Structure 1
Amino acid sequence: MDAIALRREFHKYPEVGFTEFRTASKVVEILKSLGYEVIYGAAALDPQSRRGVPSEEELEAAYNRALAGGANPKIIEKMKGGNTAVIGILKGKRTGPTVAFRFDMDALPIQESTDLDHFPQSSEFRSKYEGNMHACAHDAHTAIGLSLAEKMSDQNFSGTLKLIFQPAEEGGRGAYSIVKKGMADDIDQLFCLHLGLDVPLGEIYGGSKDLLATTKLLAHFHGVPSHSGISPEKGRNALLGAATALLNIHSLPRFSSCPTRVNVGVLEGGTAPNIIPQYAKMIIETRASLAEINNELEKRVRDIIEHSAAMHGLRYEIEVIGEATTLVCDENMIATVLEQAKNTRGFDSFKEYYNFGGSEDASFLIRRVQECGGQGTYMVIGTPIAAPHHHQKFDIGEDAIPMSVELLERIAKRTLHVREG
């Protein structure tokens, strides 16, 4: 299997969270061809626990686009409604532990560059889906996972290999639903990874720290429309209520116990200058290095929304559209990663902890594994990047892909007690 060619194939067909119909169908096909038991669709996640699911119209459009793009209709039929998780399971020839690897599949709502100095453009694998782009290396992660599946397909190991292909990592929306389905409960060791993050080629971090707990909220404000000149007093201005909430949210104090973040990223409302806005929406995120502080910050944001709505005579609703928690990697898992990296061609710098500073919903998977008595880590693998993550010119150095495949194969064989010779 040519992992680089596979990465380019996925790059051409980027699909945002819970619309990864084409990508997931290809993953299912390849895993089945390699002899894996494959669990997918609603069997692989809890549909009710997904965060920030696209509208029915968006899901239907993405589904039809995937069919037109070559997705297997029998496979994606089971993914209707955005149930796009895939779990591949392969039992070895002997009994042993259950070792899992997690790979995220989703793209971002970004218009990819058409400049000739952008390598995917000049090499003819730029996005075919305008407005969507793989700008965070998830295309490479998926290709690495499938290449690992091929490397281990002879079943010459002790135990069970579990490969988790996760939808909707962006915004912290997909992992929690996989956890709620029970897919992490039997895992003894879980390895998660990310390419890039300003780490140079050849460098690897066996684990990560300073991952922030986060909550993403969508607030709806409902008012009463009226003529802004003739009868402004009869209206209830939803946009003004949302703006009141915005200013007060950004006035929240910092916490002395840990770093915190709060941001209103979207504020929309109104239809014309002479109409009192009937509706407004606001998207907010909170973050903190301690889960309990993030919970308190979220509570304060909710209180502000409630009272801002009351001040202006509005109704409101709040949805959780994304979430992640904090993470502590297990030291012996970090040691395993670095030990195997030292035996893998191309790696020459070995470090324990990457200072993440952001959020990752793999935290839910690793935490659940740990709660059930297992262990986990989140490694970072270096590769040059052409532009920052989530930028229209983002691209990775593809030399990191075969290195990563070899590393994960070594880790899998080490933890699944492969007999040499």
Structure 2
Amino acid sequence: MDICALRRDLHQHPEVGFTEFRTATIVVEQLLSLGYDVRFGRDVMEPSSRRGLPSESELDHALSRAIADGASEAIASQMAGGFTGVVATRRGTAPGPTVAFRFDMDALPILESQDTSHLPQAEGFRSAYDGNMHACGHDGHTAIGLALAKQLSEQPFQGTLKLIFQPAEEGGRGARSMVDQGELDDVDRLFCFHLGLDLPLGWMSGGATEFLASTKLSAHFQGVSAHAAAAPEKGKNALLGAATALLNIHALPRYSTDATRVNVGVLEGGTAANIIPDSARMVLECRASTYEVNLDLERRVRDILTHSAAMHGLSCDIEVIGEAATATCDKDLIHLAMDQAKATEWFTHVVDSHPMRASEDATLMMRRVQERGGQATYMVLGTSIAAPHHNPAFDIDETILPVAVCFLGRLAMHTLLS
């Protein structure tokens, strides 16, 4: 398997959360060809737990596009409606622990750079889907997962290997559905990882710290339209209610005990200058360095939304469209990861922790494993990047790809009693 060629193919065909039909189909086909027991679609995702699902028309368009670009229609059609999760299992020759690796697959709604200095542009694998881009390295994660699957398909071991390919990590939208479906309930040890995150090539961290719990909300304000000059008193201005909420959300006090964040990222409504807007939509988030404080911050945000609506005689429907928790990496797995990284004789700097200062819905998987008596860690594998994550000029140094496969393979074989 040419891991760089695979990564570049995935980079050229980036699919945002719950529309990873082509990507997930490739994953399914590769895993089946390697002899894994593969489940996907509704079998591995709880429908009601998916967050921030795209519209039906967006899902249908993405499915048609994937099939036109070579995805198996027989497989992709079973993922219709946004069921793009994949889980592969291989059982060893004797009983033993269940060891899982998690890989995220989704891209971002970003227009990729066309600058000639941008390697994907220069080498001809820039995004073919304008407006979508792999700007966080998930194309590399998926390619690593498939190369690891190939490597481990030829190795004898004891126990059970589980490879989890998750959709919709961006925005914290996809992990919950796989957790609620029970895909982590039998896992004894869970390894998650990310490329980059400000660690240079040659560096590796056995665990991540400073995850921010997060809740992402969509709020719809409903009022009554009216003529803005002839009958303004007969209208109920939904945009005004939403603007009131925006100002008060951003005026929330900081916490003395935690790092907290609030942000209104989208505010839209209205149709013309002379019409009282009867509807408005807001998309926002809150984050905190502890799960409990984020819950309290979310409660305050919800209060502001509902009371701002009430002030202006509006209704307000609130939907959770994304979530992530905090998590603590288990020391045993941190040290194991560090030992195996050193044994590769490639990593020049191996450390026990690296601060995230951001949100990751892998934390929901980690917490489920730990709640049931298992262990989990979230590793960071350094790689040079051309620009910051989520930037139009983002790209990774592909040198890390085969190194990551070798490292994860060592982890797997050490934990799956050989």
Residue type of the alignment partner of 1:21: F
Q: Aligned runs of 1:8-407 on 2, under 5 Å?
A: 8-407=8-407
Residue type of the alignment partner of 1:75: I
Q: Distance in 2 between matches of 1:121 and 1:346?
A: 29
Deviation string for 1:317-337 (max 9, x for gaps)?
000000000100000100111
Q: Distance in 1 between matches of 2:116 and 2:94?
A: 52
Deviation string for 1:269-296 (max 9, x for gaps)?
1111111111111111011111111111
Residue type of the alignment partner of 2:5: A
- The alpha-carbon deviation at position 193 of structure 1 amounts to 0.4
Greater displacement, 340-349 / 189-198: 340-349
SS at match of 1:339: helix
Give the unaligned 5+ runs of structure 2. Answer: none
- The alpha-carbon deviation at position 345 of structure 1 amounts to 3.9
Q: Is the 8 A contact 1:345 1:403 kept in 2?
A: no
How many residues end up aligned between the 2 structures? Answer: 418
Percent identity, aligned pairs only, is 61
Q: TM-score, normalised by structure 2?
A: 0.99
Q: Is the 8 A contact 1:102 1:192 kept in 2?
A: yes
Q: Distance in 1 between matches of 2:75 and 2:66?
A: 11
- The alpha-carbon deviation at position 234 of structure 1 amounts to 1.1
Deviation string for 1:123-147 (max 9, x for gaps)?
0011111110000000000000000
Residue type of the alignment partner of 2:24: A
- The alpha-carbon deviation at position 92 of structure 1 amounts to 1.3
Q: Is the 8 A contact 1:92 1:155 kept in 2?
A: no
Q: Is the 8 A contact 1:21 1:76 kept in 2?
A: yes
Q: Distance in 2 between matches of 1:406 and 1:94?
A: 24
Q: Distance in 2 between matches of 1:198 and 1:376?
A: 22
Residue type of the alignment partner of 2:412: A
Q: Distance in 2 between matches of 1:201 and 1:124?
A: 24
Q: Distance in 1 between matches of 2:336 and 2:124?
A: 38
Greater displacement, 341-350 / 137-146: 341-350
Q: Distance in 2 between matches of 1:216 and 1:395?
A: 27
Q: Distance in 1 between matches of 2:140 and 2:81?
A: 25
Q: Distance in 1 between matches of 2:94 and 2:408?
A: 20
Residue type of the alignment partner of 1:11: H
Q: Distance in 1 between matches of 2:118 and 2:360?
A: 27
Residue type of the alignment partner of 1:12: Q
- The alpha-carbon deviation at position 346 of structure 1 amounts to 2.2
- The alpha-carbon deviation at position 2 of structure 1 amounts to 1.1
Q: Is the 8 A contact 1:50 1:177 kept in 2?
A: yes
Q: Distance in 2 between matches of 1:105 and 1:145?
A: 10
Q: Distance in 2 between matches of 1:89 and 1:155?
A: 14
Residue type of the alignment partner of 1:234: K
Deviation string for 1:289-314 (max 9, x for gaps)?
11111111000110001110011111
Q: Distance in 1 between matches of 2:237 and 2:47?
A: 35
- The alpha-carbon deviation at position 417 of structure 1 amounts to 2.2
- The alpha-carbon deviation at position 94 of structure 1 amounts to 2.2
Q: Distance in 2 between matches of 1:268 and 1:118?
A: 34
SS at match of 2:350: strand
Deviation string for 1:52-95 (max 9, x for gaps)?
00010110010100110111111112111000000010111222
Residue type of the alignment partner of 2:33: S
- The alpha-carbon deviation at position 155 of structure 1 amounts to 4.3
- The alpha-carbon deviation at position 264 of structure 1 amounts to 0.8
Q: Distance in 1 between matches of 2:84 and 2:263?
A: 29
Residue type of the alignment partner of 1:121: Q
Q: Is the 8 A contact 1:218 1:321 kept in 2?
A: yes
Q: Distance in 2 between matches of 1:163 and 1:185?
A: 14
SS at match of 2:124: coil
Q: Which residue matches 1:415?
A: 415
SS at match of 1:246: helix
SS at match of 2:276: coil
Deviation string for 1:369-420 (max 9, x for gaps)?
01111100000000000011001110000001111011001101111122xx
Q: Distance in 1 between matches of 2:364 and 2:41?
A: 20
Runs of 4+ in 1 over 2 A off after TM superposition: none
